[in-house]
Amino acid sequence: MGCHRSFVSSLTMASLAVALVLTAAIITASAAGGDSPDLHEVKVRRHLKMPNKPKTALESIKSPDGDIIDCIPINQQPAFEHPLLKTHTIQMKPSFHPEEVFAESKVSSNTTKQSKDVLSQLWHMNGKCRENTVPIRRTRREDLTRANSIENYGKKNKKSIPQPKSYDPASVLTHNNHQHAIVYVEKGKFYGAKAKMNVWKPVVQMHNEFSLGQIWVLGGSFDADLNSIEAGWQVSPQLYGDSNTRLFTYWTSDAYQRTGCYNLLCSGFVQTNKDIALGGSISPISSYDGSQYDITILIWKDPKEGNWWLKMGKKYVIGYWPASLFTHLSDSASMIQWGGEVVNSREDGRHTTTQMGSGHFAEEGWKKASYFSHVQTVDGSNTLRDPVGLQVFADQERCYNVKSGSGGPWRSYFFYGGPGRNPNCP
């Protein structure tokens, strides 16, 4: 009996030693920037079940660009996996829409300056989701393989926002090789923002870089408590696996540290629309000195329920970010930004050739540069108004720049963008 107990004890100790060695190996691999193959596979399988649930799809639609769009029952979408939304009751439509002060004109004073305000996605060619479902772009194994880490898939860099000493876009935005050309308003109470932006397909040099045009709705001190709601279009090879222009959203309540993500890649955003897939490809795209296509984005805070709603174009109310996700934005925003952003990886010591917008500077103007028109904010009376005290900012004007204007049917507007590396931006 004693020998048997001794043998079992020795076996147990040996097993424990093996376990400790394996654990140490996993920790060492993680510390070195990677997981063991087995642990990595476990993480991949686990994550593939998290952001969307193909098994609950009532229908799956294959898009011409290779995406698979799953039509998920509205009450089974990822939002309700969030701890704060376990008992959340879906608000199917906003209680109020912001009101225009003046009727919006579709054409500028130059009658040839016309664009088409459309929002069509490629997957619509092969089908649509039925009522009481929402379209979700399926996350696949290859999406996770491209990510820097599985844990951070669908998230921005945790270091993408520094800890500035002042409430200054120059100190807020110049960070971690992210570069911007924006206009902004600050030091007020804002309850939403709107703009019309033309859509392009900028060339992105490195797989880990991106280029986008978007609206930011911000609250907080730009420190660990920054709240941000974002929406627009982007080209991001690392996130999507191609160079298509895609509709996107983002949110965070802690300066991109732990909370939030792109689109529906984590819980939080509640989608109510069955026609538009966040992360889906947009078509058609503007062409240089040719046809111009744009999308209109409106983000506003519902004055009754407090949720932040997202509307695309004239008819697509997409869904909302519940007020409970936020601290500062649970009341109002303190800053609004509109414009472009790129990542400049500088891996070869030179500036990236990743384009912003059309890839042409702001001064080239209509049909050649990217633009935002009808730039507006939402005030406390739920009214859309032209911004007061609009300011401009660009990290490196020789690489990407911005030029603003006002008046005429375009109201408040600006052109922005650039080619990145050029003789004046080495």
Check: CB of residue 320 under 8 Å from CB of residue 272: yes
CA distance to 136, 230, 245, 360, per residue, from 62 (Å): 12, 27, 18, 34
- Is residue 341 annotated as a catalytic residue, yes or no? yes
Catalytic residue among 81, 230, 305, 364: 230
Going by C-alpha positions, the residue among 155, 159, 142, 156 that lies closest to residue 266 is 155
Nearest-angstrom CA–CA distance, 237 and 263? 15
Check: CB of residue 261 under 8 Å from CB of residue 157: no
Going by C-alpha positions, the residue among 324, 311, 336, 249 that lies closest to residue 98 is 311
Copy the structure tokens of residue 184.
């902004």
Please return the burial class of 177, using the count of CB atoms within 10 Å of its CB with bins 0-12, 13-18 and 19+.
middle
Q: Which residues pair with 211 in a beta bridge?
A: 235, 342
What SS3 class is residue 425?
Answer: strand
Catalytic residue among 341, 363, 364, 397: 341
Contact residues for 17 (Cβ-Cβ < 8 A; gap 6+):
none
- Is residue 364 annotated as a catalytic residue, yes or no? no
Dihedral through CA 59, CA 64, CA 68, CA 71, nearest 10?
-30
Catalytic positions, please? 230, 341
